Amino acid sequence: MSEPNSLVAHLIELRSRVLKAFLSIFVVFLCLVYFAQDLYHWLATPLLDTLPEHAEMIATDVASPFFAPFKLTMVLSFFIAIPMVFYQVWGFVAPGLYKNEKRLVAPLLFSSTLLFYLGMAFAYYVVFPLAFAFFTSVAPEGVVINTDISSYLNFVLKIFFAFGLSFEIPVAIVLMCWTGMTTPEALRAKRPYVIVGAFVVGMLLTPPDIISQTLLAIPMWILYEFGIIVGSVYSRRKPDEINEEQELD
């Protein structure tokens, strides 16, 4: 009877953690929804600053002026609540981890959150101004740039996700080295292929211009090198050292 009871207890705990995660997102949403229009204007600033004179953003759908800021607020609420979501994940899995595993997972949860935020900040403050300046400068003569607000929102959200996920490369490398899936030496040997792959990924995840592709590929390469350095620290540990910690725990 202990195993079924244990399973039920775990399911109840999981439900509680999931509800708390969703509640944290909802609370952030309630705090931000009043400022939805201001948040959208802040998001659109990199494009508005590069638009030619007399050019402006437009809404081609009747409900876009409401739904575009509303959608942005929901997505932004999730982004802001990510630390609380990860905390609930940590609270659920931590009791079943060994001491050495706890020492790794906790920093990884923190660093993955920080790196995701850094990726988004890099996209907003570096990529957007350069990319939008390029787009507006190559418009054919006689073409008036009037960007739809919903299309713009979908565009920038894709870029945010692309850069946020790409900045998680060091976390993925550390996990692979720690679990023994690969070694820093093997990763260094694959460096030429990774550089080419970074530009291919940049081509697939960003708009079809060399600026955005390069601005994604170069950080991915730098983060790859950084991940190798950090991963080499964790991969140096011998299996018997880990087993000793597990026995002591």
139 DSSP 8-state letter: P
* Contact indicator for 215, 126 with CB cutoff of 8 Å: yes
SS3 state of residue 71: helix
Q: How far is 108 from 125, CA to CA, in rounded Å?
A: 25
Q: What is the pLDDT of residue 209?
A: 64
The CB-based long-range contact list for 61-67 (8 Å cut-off, 24+ gap) reads 61/148, 61/150, 64/148, 64/149, 64/150, 65/149, 67/150
Q: CA 243, CA 221: separation in Å to the nearest integer?
A: 34
Q: Has residue 70 got a pLDDT over 90?
A: yes
Q: What residues does each domain of the chain span?
A: 2-248
pLDDT digits (tens, 9 = 90+) for 193-242: 888 888 887 777 666 667 777 877 888 888 888 888 887 876 655 444 44
Residue-averaged pLDDT of the chain: 81
What does the pLDDT look like over 22-57, one tens digit per residue?
Answer: 999 999 999 999 999 999 999 999 988 888 777 788
CB 85 within 8 A of CB 21: yes
Contacts of 195 (CB under 8 A, 6+ apart): 217, 221
Give the pLDDT of residue 248. Answer: 47
pTM of the model: 0.79
Average pLDDT over residues 57-76: 90
Confidence of residue 130 (pLDDT cuts 50, 70, 90): confident
The answer to whether residues 198 and 217 touch, using CB atoms and an 8 Å cutoff, is yes
How far is residue 189 from each of residues 185, 186, 195, measured CA to CA in Å? Answer: 6, 5, 12
| Residue of higher predicted confidence among 192 and 101 | 192
Q: What is the pLDDT of residues 91-126, one digit of tens each?
A: 777 777 677 667 777 788 888 889 899 999 998 998
Minimal CA–CA distance to 245: which of 92, 107, 96, 101?
101
Contact 216, 159 (CB under 8 A): no
Packing angle between helix 191-205 and helix 210-235, nearest 10 degrees? 140
pLDDT at 244 exceeding the cut of 80: no
Chain centre to alpha carbon of residue 218: 17
Average pLDDT over residues 151-155: 91
Q: Which of 149, 142, 141, 145 is nearest to 133 (CA)?
A: 145
